[in-house]
Amino acid sequence: MELENLYQEIILDHAKKPRHFGLLVDATHRSEGHNPLCGDQVTLTLEVRDGVITEIGFEGCGCAIALATASLMSSAIQGKSTDEALQFSQQVLQAVTSQCDDTEPLGDLAALTGVRRFPMRVKCATLALHAIQDALTSGSIERK
């Protein structure tokens, strides 16, 4: 029960005071995600230099879980290589959508694994994860 309370506090903290909130002016990658079932929306911008995510920002609206996921993931992947970020986001996605015994490598993102008990909330927790993967794989912004 204590762990559940801690996880709830982490999610509420990131939802109320999201880190990396705001879109980047000099973004090199961008992706938008929308969950039509509940109305959650997220726009994610990244600045990638020499294969490393140097800056990340997002804007969006929706439930606490969707905003907390974007905030937590933004903090977790800034400074990682694009390959590391893709691998990490896939690891979090797997932990959120299926049984995962080892959540220690997820850090604070382990708080999201509780949504597995609420199937309607899984899409809220995965919206930003899919947006990050999309931005890194096909969201490159062409510069003129």
pTM: 0.90
CB 109 within 8 A of CB 92: yes
In a domain, 143, yes or no: no
- Residue by residue, what is the 3-state secondary structure of 27-64? CCEEEEEEECCCCEEEEEEEEEECCEEEEEEEEEECCH
User: Which range of residues forms the domain containing residue 102?
Assistant: 2-138
Q: Is residue 61, in this structure, part of any structural domain at all?
A: yes
**Cα distance between residue 94 and residue 77, in whole Å:** 16
Tens-digit pLDDT profile for residues 71-83: 999 999 999 999 9
Nearest CA to 31 out of 58, 8, 5 is that of: 58
90-121 pLDDT, tens per residue?
999 999 988 777 788 899 998 898 888 888 88
**Number of domains into which the chain is organized:** 1
* The pLDDT of residue 118: 86
| Mean per-residue pLDDT, 39-68 | 95
> And the tokens for 105?
């490598």
- Asked, for residue 65, whether it belongs to a domain, the answer is yes
Per the domain annotation, does 9 fall within a domain? yes
Residue 106 lies in a domain: yes
- In this predicted structure, the answer to whether residue 143 has a pLDDT above a threshold of 60 is no
Please report the pLDDT score of residue 141 as a whole number.
Answer: 79
What CATH number is given to the structural domain containing 97? 3.90.1010.10
Query: Can you tell me the distance from the alpha carbon of 10 to that of 64, in angstroms, rounded to the nearest whole number?
Result: 11
Of 26-30, 66-70, 111-115, the least confident: 111-115
Task: Note whether residue 134 is domain-resident.
Answer: yes
Domain contains 144: no
Decide if 86 is inside a domain.
Answer: yes
